[in-house]
């Protein structure tokens, strides 16, 4: 079993084309009076001795006690961030997170790490909406395969690894520690920020968490997990 502290590095992938947020740096968006990256950093530092931030704007993150590194390939892709994290890490494994997930939880990360062994290049959560490659652990031994893919212009994470080399954490197991898949909630729009503030205040998903526009559209808590998951997966292609 992986020793969280010594065998795994926590890697935060900062960046993203936040066109619907007027170009704002997602990691620095304030939720509950704190930047999103602060929520992720606190969870990571409770689990891992080493935390790395991959960003091409390092001067913006000097307030956090972590290692800051940049992509080695001049390509806007989450795969280049995963490559950089594995390259700069000194541990056998790295756990990766997008930078815009304010509700990520240590219990989910532990659940994923506990599934990792030498049969797999990566272990990812899988819900009915697909795999979550930016809430996943990757083996350092996969670095060469990722470099080869990048050199060939292949940027889709899930296409690089053979299916049997990806471990999957089923949705039912995920819900045992995160009943409403709140960990996958990510920020893409001003409405997402407003909703995140409301979720933070009440601590759960229900109709009181929704914005007036969302309530008028008839949305309820049973619909939220689908939307949460669907918003995470597209980040694979752009950061």
Residue 83's pLDDT is what? 97
Residue in this structure with the two tokens 């997930």, named with its chain if needed? 101
Q: Please indicate, yes or no, if residue 199 is contained in any of the structural domains.
A: no
Nearest to residue 67, comparing CAs of 94, 30, 35, 101? 94
Is residue 152 domain-resident?
yes
From first to last of its 239 residues, the chain has per-residue pLDDT tens of 778 889 999 999 997 557 777 778 899 999 999 999 999 999 999 999 999 999 989 999 999 999 999 999 988 889 999 999 999 999 999 999 999 999 999 999 999 999 999 999 999 999 988 999 999 999 999 999 999 999 999 999 888 888 889 999 999 999 999 998 999 999 989 999 999 998 888 765 544 444 444 444 434 443 344 444 334 433 454 55
The pLDDT assigned to 216 comes to 46
Cα separation, 90 vs 92, in Å, equals: 7
What pLDDT does 20 receive? 73
Lookup: tokens for 45:
């530092």
Beta-sheet pairing, 135-139 with 122-127:
antiparallel
List the CATH number of the domain containing 19. Answer: 3.90.550.10
Tell me if 62 is assigned to some domain: yes
pLDDT reported for residue 227? 43
Asked if residue 211 is part of any domain, the answer here is no
Residue with tokens 């559209």, as numbered in its chain: 217
**CA–CA distances in Å: residue 191 to residues 48, 103, 126, 178, 210:** 32, 16, 26, 23, 9
Domain contains 73 = yes
- Greatest CA separation found in the chain? 50
Neighbours of 152 (CB within 10 A): 9
DSSP SS3 for 185: coil
The CA distances from residue 227 to 68, 101, 155, 160, in Å, are: 31, 14, 24, 26
Q: Which of 159, 113, 155 is nearest to 138 (CA)?
A: 113
The residues, any chain, with a CB within 8 Å of residue 201's CB and separated by 6 or more, are 32
Contact between 192 and 101 under an 8 Å Cβ cutoff? The reply is no
Residue ranges of E strands in 58-92 = 67-69
Number of domains within the chain: 1
Q: Provide the residue range defining the domain that includes 166.
A: 4-180+232-236
pLDDT for residue 16: 59
Tokens, residue 34: 């704190």
- The pTM of the full predicted model, rounded to 2 decimals, is 0.86
Instruction: Give residue 228's pLDDT.
Output: 44
Distance CA 124, CA 207 (A): 29
Shortest CA distance to 119 belongs to which of 60, 147, 154, 161? 161
Alpha carbon distances (Å) from 51 to 117, 130, 131, 185, 213: 21, 27, 24, 22, 38
Instruction: For residue 151, tell me if it sits in a domain.
Output: yes
């Amino acid at each position: 079993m992986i020793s969280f502290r010594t065998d795994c590095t926590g890697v935060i992938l900062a960046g993203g084309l936040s066109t619907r947020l007027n170009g704002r740096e997602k990691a620095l968006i304030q939720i509950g009076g704190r930047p999103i990256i602060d929520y992720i950093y606190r969870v990571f530092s409770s689990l891992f001795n080493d935390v790395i931030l991959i960003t091409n704007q390092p001067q913006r993150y000097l307030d956090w006690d972590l290692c800051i590194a940049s992509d080695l390939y001049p390509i806007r892709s989450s795969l280049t961030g995963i490559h950089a994290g594995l390259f700069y890490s000194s541990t056998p494994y790295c756990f990766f997170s997008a930078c815009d997930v304010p509700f990520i939880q240590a219990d989910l990360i532990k659940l994923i790490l506990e599934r990792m062994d030498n049969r797999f290049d990566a272990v990812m959560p899988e819900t009915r909406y697909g795999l979550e490659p930016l809430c996943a652990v990757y083996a350092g031994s996969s670095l060469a395969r990722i470099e080869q893919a990048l050199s060939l212009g292949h940027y889709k994470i899930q296409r690089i690894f053979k299916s049997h080399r990806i471990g999957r954490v089923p949705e039912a197991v995920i819900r045992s520690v995160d009943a409403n898949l709140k960990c996958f909630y990510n920020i893409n729009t001003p409405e997402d920020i407003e909703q995140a503030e409301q979720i933070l205040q009440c601590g759960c998903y229900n109709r009181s968490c929704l914005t007036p526009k969302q309530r008028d559209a008839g949305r309820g808590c049973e619909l939220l997990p689908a939307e949460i998951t669907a918003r995470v997966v597209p980040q694979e292609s752009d950061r």
